[in-house]
Structure 1
Amino acid sequence: MLTDNVQANVTSNRTPSRLERMLRIEWLGQTIASLCWIGSVLAYGISSNGDWLQLLAASAWLTANISAIAANEVESKP
């Protein structure tokens, strides 16, 4: 009985794969939101400096999400 509880509480040292991290709700939500933001800027057109800033911000957000997945994969390799 006690050994069952101890084994259940032991966490794995395995690093989640890139696909597992990409399928997490936090990453998916932020990535979908940034893609929608980019799409809305392009759909409404770029007619002012503010539109360019919106596009830049959304693109930076998407780039950060992608680089977070890539960076974790590099760091986890021995």
Structure 2
Amino acid sequence: MLEGNAKEAVGARPVSSAVAKMLRVEWLGQTTACICWIGSVFAYGVSSSGDWLQLCAATAWLVANIAAVTTDKAV
């Protein structure tokens, strides 16, 4: 049984900084995808309610990615 702080456990990884999280392939790929999605909505024009929904979805995805690197939650 492990006792004490989880950071003291054998094999525990230190909490990475926001920059380190942003340089991970997963974060870069998802962020690039949502920025391209937002760009495509503007490239094709916002002319219907479906376009606004697409824009809201892509923006929510971008906000979630930014929140993922700025929040410090234990894994």
For the superposition of Structure 1 and Structure 2, which TM-score range results when normalised by the shorter chain? 0.7 to 0.9
Structure showing greater radius of gyration is 1
Could you list the runs of 5+ residues in structure 1 that have no partner in the other structure?
1-9
Q: Per chain length, whose mean CA-contact separation is higher, i.e. which structure has more relative contact order (CA < 8 Å, sep 6+)?
A: 1
The Cα of 1:33 is off from its aligned counterpart by 0.1
Matching residue of 2:7: none
Higher helix share: 1
Aligned partners of 2:11, 2:21: CA distance in 1, in Å?
17
Q: TM-score, normalised by structure 2?
A: 0.79
Q: TM-score, normalised by structure 1?
A: 0.76
Aligned partners of 1:54, 1:13: CA distance in 2, in Å?
37
Matching residue of 2:39: 39
Count of matched residue pairs: 65
> What is the root-mean-square deviation of aligned Cα atoms in Å?
1.5
